[in-house]
Structure 1
């Protein structure tokens, strides 16, 4: 298990800048070729990496998958998160939404009641508007910090719902007669609580499942309902 953990850390470290060569992997992981080869073929069979004669290719979703696996094997989550970028979360999140027929809007900045707000990703699929925070996974989502994070995301979501329709914000939901705004916080791994004050904390690699099941849990979620008397 130690070998597998070490290999995962080396792969995460080296793949942040592109393709990983076998030579560099062996130097960083400090393991013999036979063990590395065995573990790499195992990861390839799990579709967590791509192997060819020139080295190892790992896309953003696979990097998140390797990170999740490393934490599950006992690697310190802070150490793992330091090897990732929040943009990787954002890209995988947006891709998952788009693959499920959501219109996406990234890094929306707006002003409401003389306050500035920013929402990392908004996913619109009539009548749902998912307002997703992608940046908080690095610091952990426990205790008072978790409450601070979800309270802030709820405030952002309420501000967006209240400020629309707004000519300065081009967003799909303003074409609808009504919308349900749902704040969501992404995490790297499963939190001890899936819901906190009605706000879902969703592991990034389980976002697909969340999208498929969201309607089954609507009564449990913090939902801001908005009717548009005048369409934008």
Structure 2
């Protein structure tokens, strides 16, 4: 229990400060060096540890591994910027075998769109919007608005998907497309008008249950729009 507590504190301090003094950390929390060494196990590959300090090298990889070790996602994400948050979502998806495309910009009928993440693992393609919302108050309306905007973004993406994915047409026609919004606002999985809204902590469960989702998968029609990619 002590090691888990120290690990949680260590993760927060490294995300905040990037480098910590080992002596100061041990004095502050009244622990010996062996306890600190135990707390860093499974995290060493993301750190530089010398005789007097610990430096964080890979914030995103460190965050993913910390979540695997039981550190609450909320405690991690609140210390990351939005780019790191998107990278964190991408990293989790890639560990499940998804190919990741990020920040895809395109235009359909003169209107511009941007998709944060396109995650591909045949036959599934997840079209993802990432919202780094950490507070619940006043967000219910904003969540519904974000879902509706993502639905429009998703529908537009389907019209240009063959060019974006750069796959043979026969393969693209066999893919199943799913719109997903990842945010800390939703406490449980929420499905509105075909768009799945989930908290980050529910992303792994969503991936495992892709075959059994209570949504109608979308496929590409035989005719599609050409793309003006930015």
Q: Same fold (TM over 0.5)?
A: yes
Q: Is the contact between residue 77 and residue 85 of structure 2 (CA under 8 Å) also seen in structure 1?
A: no
What CA distance in whole angstroms lies between the structure 2 residues aligned with 1:25 and 1:172? 52
Provide the C-alpha distance between the structure 1 equivalents of 2:202 and 2:34, rounded to a whole number of angstroms. Answer: 29
Normalized against structure 2, the TM-score is what? 0.70
Q: Secondary structure at the match of 1:108?
A: strand
Counterpart in the other structure of 1:117: 113
Distance 1:215 1:65, change over 3 A: same
Determine whether 1:193 maps to 2:181: no
- Provide closer, same or farther for how the CA distance between residues 25 and 66 of structure 1 changes in structure 2, counting only shifts above 3 A: farther
- Pair 203,57 (structure 1): closer, same or farther in 2 beyond 3 Å: farther
Residues paired across the two proteins, number: 212
Deviation by residue 1:86-122 (Cα, 9 ceiling, x = unmatched):
2323333333333433332111001113211100110
| 2: CA distance, partners of 1:146 / 1:173 | 36
Task: Map residues 6-155 of structure 1 onto 2, 5 A cutoff.
Answer: 7-15=10-18, 19-23=19-23, 25=25, 30-34=28-32, 38=35, 40-41=36-37, 43-44=39-40, 47=42, 49-50=43-44, 52-54=49-51, 55-56=53-54, 58=56, 59=58, 60-63=60-63, 66=66, 81-134=77-130, 136-140=131-135, 142-155=139-152
Q: How far apart are the structure 2 equivalents of 1:171 and 1:82? A: 36
Correspondence for 1:180 among 176, 200, 211? 176
The alpha carbon displacement at 1:44 in A equals 3.1
- Secondary structure, counterpart of 2:188 in structure 1: coil
Cα gap change, 1:57/1:203 in structure 2, threshold over 3 Å: closer, same or farther?
farther
- The superposition leaves residues 9-59 of structure 1 with CA deviations (integer Å, 9 ceiling, x where unpaired) of 3232013xxx544256469xx43344x864x456335x3x33744443554
CA apart distance, 1:155? 1.5
1:224 equivalent among 196, 218, 222: 218
Separation (CA, whole Å) in 1 of partners of 2:182 and 2:145: 14
Does the 8 Å contact 1:12/1:67 carry over to 2?
no
Unaligned stretches of 5+ residues in structure 2: none
Q: Identify unmatched segments of 5+ residues in structure 1.
A: none
In 2, the alpha carbon distance for the partners of 1:113 and 1:119 equals: 17
Alpha carbons of 1:26 and 1:146: their partners in 2 closer, same or farther (altered >3 Å)? farther
CA distance in 2, matches of 1:86, 1:67: 18
